[in-house]
Amino acid sequence: MFKHRLRYLFILLLGVYSYINILFTEGDRLFGFTINPVLFFSILLFLVGLIWEGNRVIQHIVRFPRWSEKAHPLMIYFALSFIMVVGYSGFTSLALSKYFNDPTHLYLTFKLSLGFTFRVNLFLHSINAIFFFVNRYNQSQLLAEKFQKESAEAQFNALRSQINPHFLFNSFNVLSSLVHKDAATASKFIDQLSIVYRYVLNHEQNKIVPLKEELSFLESYVYLLKIRFQENLTIEINIPDALNNTQIAPATLQLLIENAIKHNVVSKSNPLNINIFSDDTHIIVQNSILRKEFKEESTNIGLANIRKRYEYLCGKDAIITNSNGVFKVKIPIINEL
């Protein structure tokens, strides 16, 4: 507080207030002699200025670690400032006794000066304590927000880099079988697989990508799945071109498709149907539900982190519903950040 850029204005206002207060309570009569009003106001203003600037110097000194480690900084401030105001009061009483050439009033003048300087100093330290704790609170809030942001960034990065390794292993198994049966399809399969992983690597550091790029990547990903599951898997994508320039977190749709395949039966007798479409505010991924009797091992980071991911990106939650044999995830449409 003592370093405030408007401190000289505050010193003047406090000096004026102190002068008016003393005149109103007739405190100037306690000196036992008459003081010129201009001189009296000048003395009060001078003392207020000395107290303020003295505290500013003390506050600068107490910043050193060897001071603050011993006790609370506010206690050190006040203890040192008390010694300071005693000195100021002694100096003022001596100066007045010399000025009026009357040492008989030295003790009374010292007590009155000490009472005034102590009250002003106590008032300033009360305000400074409020500033101190408000500043500490604001710093703790900023620190908490920083940690929260760093935590969200870490979770975001973990999800952004997550591609289920089982997908890669399954893709290699499919490729291994294709090489001996259909060389042309195997060659295209390799091309599409390279597109998928090139997309993941190129956007590894990106928080968002244009929806158009995500859908182009999804075509390659869906091709790989269709080679693997044939007619047992149906994926329909109906996203209007008007949304091409909106944004999406990279690989969000891929993760939702992967999640549907992981938890549901995909067979000739029970094909899995996945639909991707949109409304005015969300991109929607929904699939039929037929849970696997034996669940695949899961990292449990998928849906939960997708929700945190979008809360981090746009402050909106992904909406997840499970009813009437349909599992549905609604992803907020993100406009340019």
Q: What is the pLDDT of residue 330?
A: 93
State which amino acid sits at residue 205. Answer: Q
pLDDT at 272: 92
Buried b (16+ CB within 10 A) or exposed e, 289-312: beeeeeeeeeeeebeebbbbbbeb
| SS (HEC) of the chain | CCCCCCHHHHHHHHHHHHHHHHHHCCHHHHHCCCCCHHHHHHHHHHHHHHHHHHHHHHHHHHCCHHHHCCCCHHHHHHHHHHHHHHHHHHHHHHHHHHHCCCHHHHHHHHHHHHHHHHHHHHHHHHHHHHHHHHHHHHHHHHHHHHHHHHHHHHHHHHHHCCCCHHHHHHHHHHHHHHHHHCHHHHHHHHHHHHHHHHHHHHCCCCCCEEHHHHHHHHHHHHHHHHHHHHHHEEEEEECCHHHCCCEECCCHHHHHHHHHHHHECCCCCCCEEEEEEECCCEEEEEEECCECCCCCCCCCCHHHHHHHHHHHHHCCCCEEEEECCEEEEEEECECCC
Q: What is the pLDDT of residue 138?
A: 80
Contact 155, 308 (CB under 8 A): yes
Among 194, 202, 199, 204, residue whose Cα is nearest residue 158: 204
Q: Report helix angle 7-24 to 106-160, nearest 10.
A: 140
Give the C-alpha separation, 120 to 114, whole Å.
10
Please tell me the distance from the alpha carbon of residue 6 to that of residue 1, in angstroms, as a whole number: 10
User: Rounded to whole angstroms, what are the CA distances from 145 to 94, 141, 142, 149, 152?
Assistant: 55, 6, 5, 6, 10
pLDDT at residue 122, as a whole number: 78
Cβ proximity of 294 and 306 under 8 Å: no
In b/e form, how buried is each residue of 78-98, taking b as 16+ CB within 10 angstroms? bebbeebbeebbeebbeebbe
Cα 227 to Cα 167: distance, rounded to the nearest angstrom: 13
Indicate the pTM of the whole model: 0.53
CA distance 37 to 293: 96
pLDDT of residue 201: 78
Q: Is the dihedral of CA 56, 60, 66, 68 positive or negative?
A: positive
Q: CA 108: distance to chain centroid?
A: 57
Which class for 212: exposed (0-12), middle (13-18), buried (19 or more C-beta within 10 A)? middle
Give the Cα separation of 107 and 113 in Å (integer): 10
> pLDDT per position in the chain (337 positions), as tens?
666 677 777 777 777 777 776 766 655 555 555 666 777 777 778 778 778 777 777 777 766 555 555 667 777 777 777 778 887 777 777 776 676 666 656 666 677 777 778 787 777 777 777 777 888 778 878 877 776 666 666 655 555 555 555 666 677 777 777 777 788 888 888 888 888 888 877 876 778 889 999 999 899 989 888 888 889 999 999 999 889 889 988 888 888 998 898 888 998 888 999 999 998 889 999 998 888 876 655 555 568 778 877 887 888 888 899 888 899 999 998 886 5
> What domains sit in the chain, N to C, each tagged with a CATH number?
7-146 (no CATH), 161-332 (3.30.565)
